[in-house]
C-alpha cells in the first residue's frame, strides 16, 4: 500500500511540475489592426455623444504559444479592399479604412507568419469586423460558440444586421459527413485550448448570443483578457456603462462581464484589451512589438 501510495504521489508531483513548467513557458501577444470604422461613440458607450462621429480601430490579436499560434478575431474581410460593394450599405455607413496595408496577410507578415501558420482561430463573434476573414485559414481549427454559428445562419429577431453571409458560408461543407469544410470546435462553454491554463476561451453571452472572450496568461505582463465586443471602451468597465441597445443582446451579460473583469483586475492584477477603443489601442504596443 505504501509503495503504491508513493508511486501515485510521484506521478502526481511529476504531472504538476510538468504543467507548471509548460505554463511558465514564454508566450508572446501581438496586437494588430484591420483598419478602422467611423461611427458615433454613443453606440459603444450608452449616453455618449453621437456627433461628431469618431474613428475606431478594428483590432485583432495573435498569441505565439509553444504548441501553436492562436489568432483572436480576424478583422474586416479583405474583400472590401478591392470590392467596397461586398459590404453593401454597411460600407457607406461605417466608412472602413480599406487600404491594402490592412489586409490580414500583410499584417501577419509583420511577425513572419502566414495564415497557414495559425493553429487556432478564435472568434469573439461573427460580425463583419471580427469574423470577416475566417475563411482565409483553411488549415486552422476555428473555435466558435455553437450558438454563434446558429445565430449567424438563423439570427434571432433584431440580431442579424451585422453578419455578412459571404464571410462564413465558405466554411460550410457540401454533402460531407461533418458539414464543415474546415476543422471546427463548436463550443457550448469554456475551453482551455492547450490544457495548461495559458489560453482559455470563455463563453460570455452579452453582445451576441454566442459571444466569447479569451484570457491569456503571460509570464511578465500577467493575466490579459481579450474582450471582443463585450467591452468597447475602458470606460464601459470602469464606469459600468454598457453600449446602446442596438449592440446589446444581453444587458445582464454585459454587466456580469464588467464585474468579472473588475474582479480579475483587483485579485490578479489583470488587464483587458479591446478591439475598438481608439485611445487604449493607440497606447498599446503594435506588432512586431509584443507583450510577454
Tell me what pLDDT residue 144 has.
98
Start-end of H helices in the chain: 2-23, 41-44, 79-82, 89-94, 104-109, 146-153, 165-168, 234-238, 251-268, 278-283
Question: Which of 192, 196, 194 minimizes the C-alpha distance to 18?
Answer: 196
Tell me what pLDDT residue 17 has.
39
Per-residue pLDDT of 140-179, as tens digits, reads: 999 999 999 999 999 998 899 899 999 999 998 776 677 7
Per-residue pLDDT of 56-109, as tens digits, reads: 999 999 999 999 999 999 999 999 999 999 999 999 999 999 999 999 999 999
Residue whose grid cell is 509553444:
66
- DSSP secondary structure code for residue 177 in this structure: S
Average pLDDT over residues 227-244: 98
Per-residue pLDDT of 1-25, as tens digits, reads: 444 444 444 344 444 434 444 444 6
Q: Name the percent of the chain lying above pLDDT 90.
A: 86
All three cell numbers of 25: 513557458
Query: For residue 181, what are the contacts with CB-CB under 8 A and spacing of at least 6?
Result: 138, 170, 171, 172, 173, 174
* Residue that wins the pLDDT comparison between 248 and 13: 248
SS3 label, residue 263: helix
Point out the least confidently predicted range of 34-38, 114-118, 173-177: 173-177
Write the DSSP assignment of 19-47 as a string of letters: HHHHHTS--EEEEEEEEEEEE-HHHHSTT
Confidence band, pLDDT 50/70/90 cuts, at residue 266 = very high
pTM listed for this prediction: 0.90
Tell me what pLDDT residue 210 has.
97
Burial class (CB in 10 A: 0-12, 13-18, 19+), 221: middle
d(CA 174, CA 59): 32
Question: Which of 57, 53, 9, 7 minimizes the C-alpha distance to 32?
Answer: 57
The CB density around residue 126, as the number of other CB atoms within 10 Å, is: 26
Burial class (CB in 10 A: 0-12, 13-18, 19+), 146: middle
Average pLDDT over residues 31-52: 97
Tell me what pLDDT residue 177 has.
72
CB 74 within 8 A of CB 67: no
Tell me what pLDDT residue 175 has.
67
Average pLDDT over residues 109-123: 98
Amino acid at each position: 500500500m505504501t509503495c503504491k501510495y508513493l508511486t501515485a504521489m510521484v506521478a502526481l508531483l511529476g504531472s504538476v511540475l510538468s504543467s507548471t513548467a509548460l505554463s511558465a513557458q514564454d508566450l508572446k501577444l501581438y496586437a494588430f489592426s484591420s483598419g478602422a470604422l467611423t461611427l458615433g461613440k454613443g453606440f459603444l458607450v450608452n449616453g455618449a455623444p453621437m456627433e461628431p462621429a469618431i474613428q475606431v480601430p478594428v483590432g485583432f490579436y495573435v498569441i505565439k504559444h509553444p504548441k501553436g499560434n492562436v489568432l483572436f478575431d480576424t478583422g474586416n474581410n479583405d474583400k472590401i479592399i478591392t470590392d467596397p460593394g461586398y459590404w453593401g450599405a454597411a460600407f457607406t455607413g461605417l466608412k472602413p479604412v480599406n487600404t491594402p496595408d490592412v489586409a490580414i496577410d500583410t499584417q501577419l507578415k509583420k511577425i513572419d507568419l502566414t495564415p497557414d501558420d495559425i493553429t487556432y482561430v478564435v472568434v469573439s463573434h461573427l460580425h463583419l469586423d471580427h469574423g470577416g476573414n475566417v475563411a482565409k485559414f483553411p488549415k486552422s481549427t476555428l473555435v466558435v460558440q455553437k450558438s454563434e454559428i446558429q445565430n449567424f445562419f438563423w439570427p434571432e429577431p433584431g440580431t442579424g444586421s451585422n453578419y455578412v453571409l459571404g464571410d462564413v458560408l465558405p466554411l460550410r461543407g457540401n454533402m460531407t459527413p461533418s458539414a464543415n469544410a474546415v476543422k471546427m470546435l463548436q463550443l457550448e462553454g469554456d475551453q482551455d485550448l492547450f490544457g495548461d491554463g495559458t489560453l482559455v476561451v470563455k463563453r460570455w453571452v452579452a453582445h451576441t448570443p454566442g459571444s466569447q472572450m479569451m484570457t491569456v496568461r503571460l509570464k511578465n505582463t500577467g493575466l490579459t483578457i481579450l474582450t471582443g465586443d463585450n467591452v468597447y471602451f475602458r470606460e464601459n468597465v470602469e464606469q459600468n456603462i454598457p453600449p446602446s441597445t442596438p449592440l446589446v443582446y444581453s444587458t445582464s451579460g454585459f454587466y456580469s462581464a464588467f464585474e468579472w473583469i473588475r474582479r480579475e483586475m483587483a485579485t490578479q492584477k489583470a488587464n483587458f484589451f479591446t478591439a475598438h477603443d481608439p485611445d487604449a489601442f493607440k497606447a498599446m504596443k503594435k506588432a512586431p512589438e509584443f507583450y510577454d
